[in-house]
A and B are shown apart, each in its own frame.
Chain A
Amino acid sequence: MHMADALLSPAVGATMWAAAAVAVGHCSRRIRSEDDERRVPLMGVLGAFLFAAQMINFAIPGTGSSGHLGGGLLLAILLGPHAALLVMASVLIVQALFFADGGLLALGCNIVNLGFFPAFVGYPLYRRLAGSAPGAARSGIAVVVAALLSLQLGALAVVLETVASGISALPFGTFVLFMLPIHLAIGVVEGVVTAAVVSFVRAARPGMLPSVAPSGGPVTGVALAFLAAALALGGVGAWGASKDPDGLEWSIARITGATGPDAPQTAVHAALGRFQQQAALLPDYGFRRPDGAAAPTPEGQGAPGDGASGDRLGTSVAGVVGGAITLLLALLVGLVLRRQARRA
Chain B
Amino acid sequence: MSAPAVLAGLLDFRRLDLLAAEDSALHRLDARAKLVVALAFVVCVTSFGRYAVAPLLPYFVFPIAVAAAARLPAARLSRQVALLLPFALLIALPNPLFDREVLLRVGGVGIAGGWISLVSILLRALLAAAAALTLVAVTGFPAICGALERLGMPRQLAVQLLFLYRYLAVLGEEALRMTTARELRGGGRPLSLRLYATLVGRLLLRTWDRAGRIHLAMCARGFVGDFRSGERSRFGRREIIYVAGWCGLFLLLRTQDPTHRLGAALLRLFQ
Contact = CB atoms under 8 A, between A and B. Distances in A.
Contacts of A344: 25
A246 to B, nearest CB: 5
A139 interface: no
Interface residues of A, number: 132
Contact of B43 (A10, A38, A166): A10
B95 A169 contact: yes
Contact of A58 (B133, B156, B191, B211): B191
B166 interface: yes
A268 to B, nearest CB: 5
B103 to A, nearest CB: 6
B77 to A, nearest CB: 10
A59 B193 contact: yes
Pick from A47, A69, A326 the residue with the most CB of B within 10 Å.
A326
Interface in A32-70: 32, 37-38, 40-49, 51-53, 55-61, 66, 68-69
Given A44-B159, A98-B136, A338-B68, A315 B103 contact: yes
Interface residues of B, number: 143
Describe A's contact surface by its main secondary structure: helix
Contacts of B40: 260-261
A44 B1 contact: no
Contacts of B223: 37
Given A45-B163, A45-B214, A319-B260, 9 more contacts: A4-B87, A44-B211, A90-B161, A98-B136, A169-B99, A192-B193, A246-B47, A261-B43, A334-B64
B263 A57 contact: no
A160 interface: no
A90 B60 CA distance: 28
A45 B172 CA distance: 11
Interface string B158-179: 0111111111101110111011
B196 A193 contact: yes
Nearest to A192: B193
Interface string B46-60: 111111111111101
